[in-house]
Amino acid sequence: MSDKTIFKRIIDKEIPADVVYEDDLCLAFKDIAPKAPTHVLIIPKKEIATVDDIADEDAALIGHMWIVIRNLARDLGLEEGYRVIVNCKEAGGQEVPHLHYHLLGGRKMTWPPG
């Protein structure tokens, strides 16, 4: 990636975010335009643009992120249920070209989502 995305700038601490979790591999922070009472974005620190760009060697990282998502849902009190969304590319609804998962909860989710 040539230009830094807003997520890379958050990882690099160039711009602030309401961080709820961080480790060596990923970062989680509150969405600035939440679509549910709880809306957290979970991003890898490694720059991966889309789901299509996940490499085979990223399997451990992606698995780790799912464990983080599960733990965050528990820590944030989402025991009644939650939704995890990942969009891929612009036509799929992805606005920032850096892989990210949306963790939404705190209300009843409906289908279809959009």
The residue from 39, 64, 98, 100 that is catalytic is 100
Domain residues of the chain, as ranges? 6-105
The identity of residue 63, as a single letter, is: G
Backbone torsions φ then ψ of 18, nearest 5 degrees: -85, 85
The pTM (predicted TM-score) of the whole model is 0.94
Condensed to tens digits (0 to 9), the pLDDT of residues 30-54 reads 999 999 999 999 999 999 999 999 9
Condensed to tens digits (0 to 9), the pLDDT of residues 3-35 reads 899 999 999 999 999 999 999 999 999 999 999
In this structure, how many other beta carbons lie within 10 angstroms of the beta carbon of residue 101?
21
Condensed to tens digits (0 to 9), the pLDDT of residues 63-98 reads 999 999 999 999 999 999 999 999 999 999 999 999
Interval 48-61 mean pLDDT? 98
What pLDDT does residue 2 have? 57
Q: List Cα–Cα distances, 12 to 8, 66, 72, in angstroms.
A: 6, 22, 22
What pLDDT does residue 112 have? 84
What pLDDT does residue 114 have? 56
Q: List Cα–Cα distances, 98 to 5, 51, 77, in angstroms.
A: 7, 9, 27
Backbone torsions φ then ψ of 92, nearest 5 degrees: -90, 0
Active site residue 100: yes
CATH T-level fold of 6-105: HIT family, subunit A (3.30.428)
pLDDT-derived band at 1, boundaries 50, 70, 90:
very low
